[in-house]
Amino acid sequence: MQLVFATNNLNKIKEVQALIPEHIKLLSLAAIGCFEDIPETQNTIEGNAIQKAEYIKSNYGYDCFADDTGLEVDVLNGEPGVFSARYAGKQRNASDNMNKLLNALQDRSNRKAQFKTVIALQYNNQKYTFTGICKGEITKNKHGEKGFGYDPIFKPNGYEKTFAEMDLSLKNSIGHRGKAVSQLVALLNS
C-alpha cells in the first residue's frame, strides 16, 4: 500500500515513518511532484489537516493523509493553537516561536498546555480524521536538542524531561502525533 504524507517537514516524516508498518509505503510530496505550498487557511487545526489532504487528493489523485498540530496553552486561551508554526511571524522560526511563548508566560504560574494533532485521511474515496492529544506544561527554559518545534519547552505530564530530551521511541509512544498515527494505522490495518 502506498500513501502520500502531505508534508514537507522532514522531522514529521521521520516520526511518522517510525510508527507506520513496513507494508505501508509513505510517499513524500516531492515523490509525487508536489513542490508548491499547500494551503493552510482554515481557522482550526482540524480544518487545516482536512484542507491539505483534500488538496493532494483533488490535485494529484493520490490516497493521502495530512496532519496539523498546535500547541494550546491554557492561560493564553489556547494560543498559539492553529498559529503555532507562525506564532512569532511568517518566517516560521522555532526559536522565535519558543521565545515569544516563554515571554508571554514569564510571570505566569499556570503553565499547563497540550499538544494536539489532527490527521485527515483521504482513502478509498472516504474521509477520516484522527486526533491525538498530549497534556503537559511549558518549562521556563529550553531543554534538549532532539525533536523540533516547541519540543525543548514542552514537558509531558508524568515525565521530568521535555520532548527534546526524549528518545524518539518514547516521544512517539506518549506523544500527540503518535496517538493520532496509531488510530490511522488501526484503520488501515482493519
Identify the CATH class of 2-189.
alpha beta
SS3 string, 80-92, reads: EECCHHHCCCCCC
Strand partners, 7: none
User: Which residue of the set 63, 67, 68, 151 is catalytic?
Assistant: 68
Regarding pTM above 0.85, the answer is: yes
CB atoms within 10 A of CB 51: 19
Digit-by-digit pLDDT tens for the chain (190 residues) are: 889 999 887 878 888 888 898 888 889 899 999 999 898 899 999 999 999 999 999 999 999 999 999 999 999 999 999 999 999 998 889 999 999 999 999 999 999 999 999 999 999 999 999 999 999 999 999 999 998 899 999 999 999 999 999 998 999 899 999 999 999 999 998 8
Give the start-to-end residue ranges of the domains of the chain.
2-189
Tally the C-alpha atoms within 13 A of residue 6's C-alpha that lie toward its C-beta: 31
Residue 149 region, left (φ>0) first, then alpha (ψ -120 to 50), else beta? Answer: left
68 catalytic per annotation: yes
